[in-house]
Chain A
Amino acid sequence: MRRLNPSLVAGGVIVGVIALMALLSFVWTPYDATLVNPSGRLAMPSWEHWFGTDKFGRDVFSQIMVGSRTTLFVGVVAVGVAAVIGVPLGVLAAMTPRWPSELIMRTNDLMLAFPALLLAIMFGAVFGASTLTAMVAIGIASVPSFARVIRSGALQVMRTEYVLAARAAGRKPFPIAARHVLPNVTSLITVQASVSFAIAVLAEAALSFLGYGTPPPTPSWGRMLQESQEFLFSAPRLAVFPGIAIAVAVLGFNLLGDGLRDRFDPKLEDRR
């Protein structure tokens, strides 16, 4: 019996808690996360307000809860965009002859060289700041890493005997990709998705901090950080709670990605 992988467990627990928190926020939060309460502004953490209140008198804990929805939503869509474009590109690059493959991968390298955050800011400037813009921009920026990883995995599969046999038997490329290649790179897709999720969470927070992400009043951890700037000296807790939330979420997805990679590739784990 294989022992439990600590990274996988820790990552799974953290991600699970965040997902639960996001789901719970649809049916319950201690307070309405967008309800302004001027008489209760900048309250210290207490039994009524576990994380205190912000300059609008909004409950910080409720905002963190609802903000986790934004975080997960952005992560899911961004990773979805990246996977939907990146995986076929990677498989295509592995299965096509040299020059189309080179064209795909060099274009991929070109995109990889372009800073992801800059691309997202450009999207925000052109199409306007919104959660959708941030999601699509982060997703597109994550395409090259998906394509690269999936290509390497697909190349290994393409050299296996059963694929060579299928090709010798005259199977067309598309059925080979669907029946043999894709099922065998699923683990790679899962690991890459988890790692990209962590990057997406951080990117969304950065974009919202810069004003190019989720617009107010929808709670977002990055914008909570941005709004806390004027209170860094008088109420630093306003920066601490969303900061911790972002750090823990990124850590969780990274640990999960690490754990999944070890799980799918036990040899790597044994080498440690």
Chain B
Amino acid sequence: MKSYTTRAVAFVASAAMLALTACSAGSSTSGGSSTGADQSLSLGLVAEPASLDFTTTDGAAIPQVLLGNVYESLVKQDESGKIVPSLAKSWTVSPDRKTYTFDLVDNAKFTNDKPFTAADAVFSINRVKSAWTTSLKSAMDVVAGAKALSPTQLQVTLTKPSNGWLFRMTTRIGAMFSETGVSALATAPIGTGPYKFSKWNRGDSIVLQRNDGYWGTKPQFQQITLKYFKDPTALNNALLTGTINVITTVQAPEALSQFTGNEKYQVIEGTTNGEVLLSFNNSKPVFRDLRTRQAIRQAIDHKALLDTCFAGRGKLIGSMVPPTDPWYEDLTSVAPYDVAKAKSLLQASGAAGATLRLRLPTLPYAISCGQVVKSQLEQVGLKVQIDQQEFPAAWLTTVFKSADYDMSIIAHVEPRDLGAVFSPTYYTRYNDPELQQYLAAADAGDEAAQLDNMKKAGRRLSEQAAGDWLFLLPNLIVADKNLTGLPQNAITENFDLSRLARS
């Protein structure tokens, strides 16, 4: 009798548990109606940020998610690269080009409910100088001071005229922070953008919720999940199985054919700012000889490399300037593929037989290209040791911060980053006074002088072989057919989520 009772109790308990499970499953489905399939979107990305604080942590992955979506800047770039209003409705520049006066929107507020005012802009600009620790903070060195003329009017004074400063204000440097919202930037960012940060499942995803108090046009999707994938095939499979709706950057272009012929998907192919750079540690004795650097550039068959490691998609550029910049010129002929010349240059410089450490971030394109680079450099008499560094944490620490490397491969996706990447303090450790002169003249001069000097700077880099530009990453996006608002070209630091919609 006791046995029957026990079994009955167990059965009832099991049934109750099943019922509860069913209820909870149902409730999550019904609860999902507010963030259901038409209200939520999942995007697949490759490189997960190491932190959410781009004021202290380098790397493009943080502004890619947060800039323009959670944080906003005074001005932003449109898809053609033109500087357009954002939190500043309009602005004027004084005749001496040293004073900028911004008229700010009056209805923006941070997600901590504090209104955005000129005082916040002053705080944000000053904070770049006082609290930021990343290398990009130098872009604000030209600012002499910022003051709030009224709650909606901001005046910024520069120490000298600068063509680059306003452009830099469209990047992460220009992000506006609330004075009361910077205590936990690494885990809880607070901005004025169309989305607010919701949660970060480390190693998996970042979730953003629509900011219903947004001052501008509200985005269509209530929730956007950014899912990170280390394996490019897993990323492709996630779209095929409906786990995600967008592959923001295709990393396995050889497998693109599975989407191109499929009417469920759209494939967008455009251009980017992402120069895939074979960087040299120019502080190492072996790289101080121009002939060695030139030999490495001429030992690499760039066309074959692009075909092999990125299925021929992308563009050969020959320097640090993408075609979307006004001062672009095709510099691929500066260092043509010439094995015999490369060998003789190495013999002349005495670097033949030298062993170089190629420290690669664990990013699919870097691992692929690294194997081609190693093979081609070994054919001209160099020895190359490949060493993988977990990206971002280990690579940022070892290569980027400590410059403990000989060569590396990574895409630099920041817009107009020529001067930042090739400076004595950056991980390339490139110290070239002539280049700095061109950059200074470009920044201070009029539009024609800027164009002329930036062209000279691009050519100088290429001729001095400060690095080797393997190719320019294409903007390869695959998404559900009915999604609109995806960028044709990726020329800004951020992936604009606010324009995404279902048709």
Interface residues of A (CB under 8 A from B): 34-36, 38-39, 41, 55-57, 128-129, 211, 215-217, 229-234
- Which of A35, A57, A128, A211 interacts with B230 by CB under 8 Å? A211
Bound-state CA distance A34–B371 (Å) is 8
- Which of A55, A211, A216 interacts with B386 by CB under 8 Å? A216
Please give the distance in Å from B72's CB to the nearest CB on chain A.
Answer: 36
Does A41 lie within 8 Å of B375, measured CB to CB?
Answer: no
Bound-state CA distance A229–B386 (Å) is 22
Q: Which residues of B contact A230 (CB under 8 A)?
A: 232-233, 236, 252, 254-255
Contact with A along B245-288 (1 / 0, CB 8 A): 00000001011011000000000000000000000000000000
Q: Which residue of B lies closest to A125 (CB)?
A: B390
Q: Which residues of B contact A34 (CB under 8 A)?
A: 371, 374-375
Q: Which residues of A contact B52 (CB under 8 A)?
A: none
Contact with A along B385-409 (1 / 0, CB 8 A): 0111010001000000000000000
B189 at the A/B interface (Cβ < 8 Å)?
no
Q: Which residues of B contact A231 (CB under 8 A)?
A: 254-255
Q: Which residues of A contact B376 (CB under 8 A)?
A: 36
Does B388 lie within 8 Å of A38, measured CB to CB?
Answer: no
- With contacts A56-B371, A211-B230, A217-B375 taken as known, whether A38 is within 8 angstroms of B308 at the C-beta atoms is yes
Bound-state CA distance A233–B257 (Å) is 9
Does A216 lie within 8 Å of B371, measured CB to CB?
Answer: yes
- Which of B255, B367, B372, B386 interacts with A233 by CB under 8 Å? B255
Q: Which residue of A lies closest to B307 (CB)?
A: A38
Does B252 lie within 8 Å of A38, measured CB to CB?
Answer: no
Given contacts A36-B371, A56-B372, A211-B230, 6 further A-B contacts (CB under 8 A): A34-B375, A41-B307, A55-B254, A128-B388, A128-B394, A215-B388
Bound-state CA distance A128–B376 (Å) is 26
Bound-state CA distance A10–B20 (Å) is 56
Q: Which residue of B lies closest to A228 (CB)?
A: B233
- Which of A215, A216, A234 interacts with B257 by CB under 8 Å? A234
- With contacts A231-B255, A234-B257 taken as known, whether A36 is within 8 angstroms of B386 at the C-beta atoms is no
Identify 5 residue pairs between A and B in the complex whose beta-carbon atoms are under 8 Å apart, listed by A's number: A36-B375, A38-B305, A216-B388, A229-B252, A234-B254
Q: Which residues of B contact A41 (CB under 8 A)?
A: 307-308
Does A211 lie within 8 Å of B232, measured CB to CB?
Answer: no
B474 at the A/B interface (Cβ < 8 Å)?
no
Q: Which residue of A lies closest to B256 (CB)?
A: A230
B304 at the A/B interface (Cβ < 8 Å)?
yes
Does A36 lie within 8 Å of B308, measured CB to CB?
Answer: yes
Does B372 lie within 8 Å of A36, measured CB to CB?
Answer: yes
Bound-state CA distance A55–B387 (Å) is 21
- With contacts A129-B388, A211-B230, A217-B371 taken as known, whether A39 is within 8 angstroms of B304 at the C-beta atoms is yes
Please give the distance in Å from A202's CB to the nearest CB on chain B.
Answer: 20
Q: Which residues of B contact A57 (CB under 8 A)?
A: 308
Please give the distance in Å from B40's CB to the nearest CB on chain A.
Answer: 28
Contact with A along B359-391 (1 / 0, CB 8 A): 000100001001110111000000000111010
Q: Which residue of A lies closest to B390 (CB)?
A: A128
- Which of A39, A211, A216, A233 interacts with B370 by CB under 8 Å? A216
Does B390 lie within 8 Å of A38, measured CB to CB?
Answer: no
Q: Which residue of A lies closest to B230 (CB)?
A: A211
Bound-state CA distance A217–B367 (Å) is 9
Does A38 lie within 8 Å of B255, measured CB to CB?
Answer: no
Q: Which residues of A contact B236 (CB under 8 A)?
A: 230
